[in-house]
Amino acid sequence: MASDYIVGIDLGTTNSLVAHMQREFPAVIPGEDGLNLVPSVVALDEKNQILVGNPARKYLIETPERTVYSIKRLMGRGVEDIQEELKFFPFRLADDLQPGEVLRIKMGERTYTPPEISAQVLRQLKRNAERFFGGPVTKAVITVPAYFNDAQRQATKDAGRIAGLDVLRLVNEPTAASLAYGLDKKKNGIVAVYDLGGGTFDISILKLHDGIFEVIATNGDTHLGGDDIDNLLIAIALDDIQGDLKLDVRRNGEAVQRIRKAVIEAKIALSSQPSARLDVELPGANRYQREITREAFEQVTDPVVQRTIAPCKQALKDAGLKPGQIDEVVLVGGSTRIPKVRQIVQDLFGRVPHTDLNPDEVVALGAAVQANILGGGSEITKEMLLLDVTPLSLGIEVAGGVTDKIILRNSTIPASATQYYTTQVDGQTNVAIHVLQGERELARDCRSLARFDLKGVPPMPAGMPRIEVKFLIDANGILQVSAREQRSGQEAQIAVQPSYGLTDEQVENMLLESFDYAEEDFRQRQVIEARREADTILMALAKGKKNEAWRDLTSDERRRIETLERALGAVQEGDDYQAIRKGIDALNQATMRLAELMMDSAVTTALKGKTMDETGLGEGPQAGHPVAKAEFE
Ligand code: ADP
Ligand code: MG
């Protein structure tokens, strides 16, 4: 049934695409014009009708005040975050914006938020898919850059909702690209995803374990891509025209646009042929013609290509890896069609990159694969589980302006954790919950995500109320915080939708600062992770005991498992992570045969080759075990 289709969408800075699973392989759904790529451009025409994609592009020059492009750069960001962008892009912001308010962009007489503009692009993709399937399409998986923060992800989800799409999952672009190449089937290894698009460069290092992708490092340059190459070529053409034809067309928008079109065509031709011809008609019956060899092209564009090297090296360093440790290299983005770019990437990682799929389609194809997995797709893909991690720790402010972390940085998501707090003052009826993001000890050094009050707590002596604070990060990385006073049942909650995001620099700084605390962080994390793992295996075991395989074990085996189960339960809450680990390992060993029997019984094919704690038979990542606070226990 057409309405059951879940499509995969690459919502790109320059171009967007929609794809679906055609039997075994993902395929891009073309638009009415037969083209796969929908330029991420939105315009208002003379009749105030909204145009999207190729039809909108001509308005870029004709009525720029009624046209918006590169809106992805503003998604989930605030006025403070985008000052740098404004130097690069002619975004026209609403005049009456208040600090902290969601951005609005002027288009014609009206203003629109970035999610509203992105929603227009999504709507076009939805229409293309509906035309293709001949029925409604309401569910989608949308990709986002791996470095997108909460606010940017939330804004992307909002765009989906505005477009009438139920966004089942946001997937990281590099993860999607790897899925498109079926790298998950390799089970283990390190994947480098090199993405050079129209205006952005991203390098991501992914760790693949048991078919699960984890982003271990990202880097890049938010202002580097094919546009830079175009601009270099345009500059040369303008110089030529001034020198040879004694004509200055720099201020002639129409002429510059023609030159742009011609150089892009030449650039694309040069990716597959040794030379290309520029031929542009100019005002006054003038004509600019020039032959460009690939050699000359490579020389001119070399600085752009070279600028991708340092971020790659930094990402490797952050991941603690040498180039030789990269097992797979995936190319993403239209600009990686340039042979010289491929060469550089190959030299850098010492691996021949994957190039079988179109680099500007591969992310959408991977989104379709993920959509298929979520839709219950095929037998093989059904068992796959995709993981991401939170880039920064999340917590709340406690007495003394101290940060109390609730979910630690690099926790796999979805994740949840609960901690208990109480009041500071006798008779306190309002409790302020201040949600923070960051690695630092003091609240003022972290980023404030949201504040809300838990009201109506019955007056009690300080220390009496028992306030449960629950953090939940869903599979899309969006945070939900709730607080509940357990004695009275009073409750308050907030979905953290910060109106703006962090600048790249801020994230970088926050991480840099956190390195000073890395050692301490690490120890604490060991304890938490060990506890969580213990939780998972104990839960998985509880389920296993209900399986018929349990009865197939000998009574000795069952007794041994139950002894180890109790032993693990006894150390689980302690701070000695080595003891917890030992308990986990012992239980793992003892349950190996149970896992095998369960596997044989075909009840849980997902157990294949794994011990129970890896199967996700328990609630898996959701089973986050909170750091226990001593006050009430
Ligand atoms: P984004 O991810 O930023 O939305 P894409 O992956 O679609 O962008 O890449 C768009 C860029 O790729 C543009 O700069 C375009 O000119 C460039 N491009 C597309 N095809 C080729 C090609 N054959 N050779 C060189 N550059 C190309
Ligand atoms: Mg892209």
What is the tens place of the pLDDT at every residue in 37-82?
999 999 999 999 999 999 999 898 889 899 999 999 999 988 888 8
Q: Give DSSP secondary structure letters for 260-289.
A: HHHHHHHHHHHTTSSEEEEEEEETTTEEEE
The pLDDT tens digits for 2-48 are 346 899 999 999 999 999 987 778 989 988 888 899 999 999 999 99
pLDDT, tens digit, 9 for 90 and up, residues 422-435: 887 788 888 889 99
CA 460 / ligand 1 centre spacing (Å): 63
Residues 586-613 have pLDDT tens digits of 888 888 788 777 766 543 443 333 333 3
* pLDDT reading at 633 higher than 70: no
Q: Give residue-wise pLDDT tens across range 471-519.
A: 887 666 678 888 988 877 888 877 764 334 555 555 556 556 555 555 5
CA 418–ligand 2 middle distance (angstroms): 37
Ligand nearest to the CA of 28: 1
- Domains, the chain, in order of start with CATH, read 2-224+307-389 (3.30.420.40), 226-304 (3.90.640.10), 392-502 (2.60.34.10), 519-632 (1.20.1270.10)
Ligand 1 center to 604 CA (angstroms): 44
Q: What is the pLDDT of residue 344?
A: 97
Residue nearest to atom 18 of ligand 1 (CA): 334
For residue 177, the CA-to-ligand 1 centroid distance in Å is 16
Question: 3-class SS at 181?
Answer: coil
Which of 285-294, 305-314, 345-354, 406-415 has the lowest average pLDDT? 406-415
Decide whether any atom of ligand 1 lies within 6 Å of the 358 Cβ.
Answer: no
Average pLDDT value for residue range 538-559: 88
Taking the CA of residue 332 as reference, the ligand 1 atom at the shortest distance is 6
For the stretch 79-101, pLDDT in tens is 888 888 888 888 899 988 887 77
Of the residues 116, 158, 195, 202, which is catalytic?
Answer: 195
**Does the Cβ of 197 fall within 6 Å of ligand 1?**
yes
Cα separation, 439 vs 617, whole angstroms: 32
Greater pLDDT, 576 or 633: 576
Distances (CA, A) of 422 to 217, 416, 442, 483, 624: 38, 20, 19, 11, 22
pLDDT at 42: 97
Percent of the chain past pLDDT 90, that is, above it, reads 49
Rounded mean pLDDT of 148-170? 90
Higher pLDDT, 275 or 91: 275
Q: Which of 335, 341, 357, 363 to mutate to test the pocket of ligand 1 (most atoms within 8 A of CB)?
A: 335
Helix (H, G, I), strand (E, B) or coil at 598: helix
Of all protein residues, the one whose alpha carbon is nearest to atom 19 of ligand 1 is 334
Cβ of 149 closer than 6 Å to ligand 1, yes or no, is no
**For residue 458, is the peptide bond before it cis, meaning its omega torsion is within 30 degrees of 0?**
no
Q: What is the pLDDT of residue 616?
A: 33
d(CA 521, CA 526): 9
Distances in Å between the Cα of 233 and the Cα atoms of 224, 229, 250, 277 are: 15, 6, 14, 13
Residues with CB under 5 A from ligand 2 (ion): 12, 197
Closest CA to 52 of 157, 113, 124: 124
Q: According to the model, what pLDDT value does residue 517 have?
A: 55
Q: Which of 87-96, 151-160, 520-529 has the lowest mean pLDDT?
A: 520-529
Are the C-beta atoms of 357 and 28 separated by less than 8 Å?
Answer: no
Question: In ligand 1, which atom is closest to the CA atom of 16?
Answer: 4
Q: Of 126-140, 328-342, 377-391, where does mean pLDDT reach its minimum?
A: 377-391
Which of 264, 360, 362 most suits a substitution to test ligand 1, by most atoms within 8 Å of the C-beta? 360
**420 burial class (0-12, 13-18, 19+ CB within 10 angstroms)?**
middle
- Averaged pLDDT, 443-455: 84
- CB neighbour class for 533 (10 Å; exposed up to 12, middle 13-18, buried from 19): buried
Distance CA 323, CA 301 (A): 24
- Specify the residue with its C-alpha closest to ligand 1, atom 26: 335
C-alpha pair distances (Å), 520 with each of 145, 578, 615: 30, 16, 30
Among the atoms of ligand 1, which is closest to the Cα of residue 12?
4
Q: What is the pLDDT of residue 450?
A: 82
**Beta-ladder partners of 128:** none
Residue 296's CB is within 10 A of a number of other CB atoms, namely 14
**Residue 513: predicted pLDDT:** 57
State the Cα–Cα distance between residues 62 and 57, nearest whole angstrom: 9
Which of 217, 190, 213, 181 has the alpha carbon at shortest distance from 202? 217
Q: Indicate whether residue 271 lines ligand 1 (CB < 6 A).
A: yes
The finding on whether 76 has its CB within 6 A of some atom of ligand 1 is no
For ligand 1, pick from 10, 11, 13, 15 the residue to mutate: most ligand atoms within 8 Å of CB.
15
Ligand nearest to the CA of 366: 2
CA distance between the termini of the chain:
54
Among 196, 267, 304, name the best residue to mutate to test ligand 1's pocket (greatest count of ligand atoms within 8 A of Cβ): 267
pTM to 2 decimals?
0.66
323 C-alpha to center of ligand 1: Å? 26
What's the whole-number average pLDDT of the chain?
84
* Angstrom distance (rounded) from CA 157 to CA 139: 12
Return the ligand 1 atom nearest residue 225 CA: 14
Please tell me the distance between residue 70's alpha carbon and the centre of ligand 1 in angstroms: 14
* pLDDT for 632: 35
Q: How many Å apart are CA 335 and CA 197, to the nearest integer?
A: 6
**DSSP letter string, 33-92:** TS-S-EESEEEE-TTS-EEESHHHHTHHHH-GGGEEE-GGGGTT--GGGGHHHHHHS---
458: confidence class by pLDDT, cuts 50, 70, 90: confident
| Residue 202 known to be catalytic | no
Looking at residue 383, the DSSP 8-state letter turns out to be: T
Is 143's C-beta closer than 6 angstroms to any atom of ligand 1? no
Contacts of 571 (CB under 8 A, 6+ apart): 579, 580, 583
User: pLDDT tens-digit profile of 213-223?
Assistant: 888 999 999 99
Q: Which of 81, 150, 158, 173 does the annotation list as catalytic?
A: 173
pLDDT at 499: 33
The CA 334 to ligand 2 mean position distance, Å, reads 8
Q: Which of 72, 126, 157, 267 is catalytic?
A: 72
- Residue 381 has a pLDDT of 39
CB of 145 within 6 A of ligand 1: the answer is no
Residue 121 CA to ligand 1 center (angstroms) comes to 18
- Cα 439 from Cα 443, distance rounded (Å): 10
Q: Please say if 10 is a catalytic residue.
A: yes
Task: Assess whether pLDDT exceeds 60 at residue 560.
Answer: yes
- Ligand 1 centroid – CA 77 distance (Å): 25
**pLDDT per position as a tens digit, 608-626:** 333 333 333 332 222 222 2
The per-residue pLDDT for 512 is 61
Position 549 scores a pLDDT of 85
